[in-house]
Amino acid sequence: MPASPFQPPKTEVVDARQIVDSRPQTVRLASQLVLAAFAIGLVRLFSDLDILRAEDADLQAVFPFIVVAILVTITLCLIYMTHQGRNWARWALLAYFILGWYPAAEAAMSMSVSERSTLDWSLDLVITSMELIAAWLLFTGSSAKWFVRHRRSHTEA
């Protein structure tokens, strides 16, 4: 029996952007949180460094910049690879967070409350919270399902 001319066609309406990019919004949000937390950490680091005010540019003054450049590169590469659906990059990003939380927690425990300003404590709390939320977003819900589907599609190809 032919379709009635009075009935609308039974096709799904799909956003063209959704066809091209099936990456869940939670992966994007997690990446944005990681970048924002990293930016806050960089601003805090450079505001704490007395090296920027140093008059002589010896190796000790340049070393923090080299370390920061390496960390920026690692962070951006991990976020990019996570956006590509690489499951190992998601796990590496989690390990990267944990490696960053350990020294921060150790420093917080070793310093007395009077040695650190309220701003320092607040920024540490904000950065850690952002990274925790990003990790939670990457390992739960639609993100976790997307990484599993993406991994299966690459292993079958």
Note whether 40 and 124 are within 8 A (CB). no
Q: What is the pLDDT of residue 70?
A: 92
**Eight-state DSSP code of residue 34:** H
Note whether 127 and 41 are within 8 A (CB). yes
Q: Is it the case that residue 117 has pLDDT exceeding 80?
A: no
> How far is residue 22's CA from residue 31's CA, in Å, rounded to a whole number?
16
Q: What is the arithmetic mean of pLDDT over 13-18? A: 48
pTM for this predicted structure: 0.72
What is the domain partition of the chain in residue ranges?
Answer: 26-143
> How far is residue 16's CA from residue 98's CA, in Å, rounded to a whole number?
38
SS (H, E, C) 129-143: HHHHHHHHHHHCHHH
Q: What is the arithmetic mean of pLDDT over 12-19? A: 47
Q: What is the pLDDT of residue 60?
A: 66
Q: Which residues contact 23 (CB under 8 A, 6 or more apart)?
A: 83, 85, 146
Q: How many CB atoms lie within 10 A of CB 130?
A: 20
Q: What is the pLDDT of residue 3?
A: 63
Structure-token pair, residue 60: 């000790």
Q: Report the helix count and the strand count for the chain, using DSSP H and E.
A: 6, 0
Q: Is it the case that residue 116 has pLDDT exceeding 90?
A: no
Burial of 56 from C-beta contacts in 10 A (0-12 / 13-18 / 19+)? exposed
